[in-house]
Amino acid sequence: SLTTVPVLTVPDSNEPYVVYTDASKTGLGCVLMQNGHVVAYASRQLKPHERNYLTHDLELATVIFALKI
């Protein structure tokens, strides 16, 4: 678990990126990584209407959230 703020790395446009996303009944989160290092991360609580979403809809909402950042 993240108990401290991770050290962010400067992205290298010549290297591939990996995006990890996850959703729960309370929030959405995503991490952009490169070569095993965190480049950026974000999370937010669910909006009231999102609390009724099915699991696959929440996972898709997380992908959309990650792409908008």
Which domains, and CATH codes, for the chain? 18-68 (3.10.20.370)
pLDDT values of the chain reduced to their tens digit, one per residue, 69 residues? 556 666 799 999 999 999 999 999 999 999 999 999 999 999 999 999 999 999 999 999 999 999 998
pTM of the model: 0.83
Q: In what order do the strands lie in the sheet with 27-34?
A: 18-23, 27-34, 37-45
CB 47 within 8 A of CB 56: no
Residue 36: count of CB within 10 angstroms of its CB = 7
Provide the CA 38 distance to its chain's centre, in angstroms. 11
Q: How many CA atoms lie within 13 A of 60 on its CB side?
A: 6
**In this structure, is the dihedral angle defined by the CA atoms of residues 53, 2, 65 and 36, taken in order, positive or negative?**
negative
